[in-house]
Each structure stands twice: as C-alpha cells, then as structure tokens.
Amino acid sequence: MAIYRHVHVEFWKDPKVLEELTPEDKLFFIYLLTNPNTTQIGVYKITKKQIAFELGFSIESVNVLMDRFINNYGLIKYNNDTREICLKNWGKYNLNKLGKPMLDCVRSELKNVDDKSLLEFIKPSISKEEIVSLFDEAIYLDKVNDDNFKFNDKD
C-alpha cells in the first residue's frame, strides 16, 4: 500500500470526465484511484460496504455507481466473490517506471490477486514490456494451476 497516489491533471481534461461523469461519478472515481486499499498494480480488495462507509454513500448508491462504471463507462471490473476491483487505465499512469524495486513490488502484488482475469483488463494500458511480461506470467501460471487442478480433480 502506498502512502500517496498521484492524480494526473489530465484527469480533469479527459472528455469522458468532462462530458459524461456526474459530480458523484467524479468523486467515486477519484476515490477508486486514491483510497488506502489501492496497490501498485491497480487490482485490490475492497468491499462495497467499505466504499459506502468511506464516501458516505448508501450501499444502493455504490451498487448503482459500480454498475455504471462497469457497464456504461467500461472503466472498472469488480469480482463480487473475491471482492477485488481493477481500474482499466491504471497501467497508463501508474506502471510506467522500471527498476528492481518497482518490478519486485509488481511481482509481489500479482501473487496476491485472486482473480487473475482482472489482470487482462489492465494489461493493455501498460506501456513497459517488462511489466506486461510479469502480468502475462501471472496469468499463465494461474491458467496452468487451474488446468492442473481440473486434471487432478478427475482422478
């Protein structure tokens, strides 16, 4: 968990933000980008109840916002079973530096993701090939482990 998160000023110039998002949407989105649960890779566990509490919204409002951000805007994905959220363009703004500490952090955080399919959602926004490779490796290992589980389960 980082102590702070950068919010690029381009956020406020983005046509989607300017023309489509309501004031409530903008607060919700800034919260998703900066809340204490965020990780370096853009996939993190958070409950709808926690979001509601921290923003002062009802659970119903959070459900409406989540639905809008998933189905209308296509900006997030949320797994209700694992309670993990991922942000589509996270990699564009947060996964653009390299170095051993950064790669070690990414490698470590990828191990903590329960729903590896969420990584596919973020991957297109990552420009650094070394980080894309780490995402690919995590996705591949998850598929291999899942296939091995299915194979062994048939015995």
In terms of Cβ atoms closer than 10 Å to its own Cβ (0-12, 13-18, 19+), residue 140 is exposed
**Is the pLDDT reported for residue 5 higher than 90?**
no
CB 122 within 8 A of CB 88: yes
- Higher local confidence (pLDDT), 1 or 85: 85
3-state percent helix, strand, coil for the chain, nearest multiple of 5? 60, 5, 30
pLDDT in tens, 57-74: 999 999 999 999 999 999
Angstrom CA distances, 93 to 89, 108, 135, 144, stand at: 7, 19, 16, 30
Strand-pair category, 43-45 with 76-79: unpaired
Average pLDDT over residues 105-118: 95
pLDDT band at 154 (very low <50, low <70, confident <90, very high): low
Average pLDDT over residues 130-134: 94
Confidence (pTM): 0.86
Which H or E run contains 86? strand 84-87
- Angle ∠(31,34,36) on CA atoms, nearest 5: 100
**DSSP letters spanning 7-24:** --GGGGG-HHHHHT--HH
Tell me the three state secondary structure of residue 85: strand
How is residue 30 written in tokens? 């800034």
pLDDT in tens, 32-53: 999 999 999 999 999 999 999 9
Average pLDDT over residues 12-30: 94
Which H or E run contains 63? helix 59-67
Residues 31, 113: Cα–Cα separation, whole Å:
20
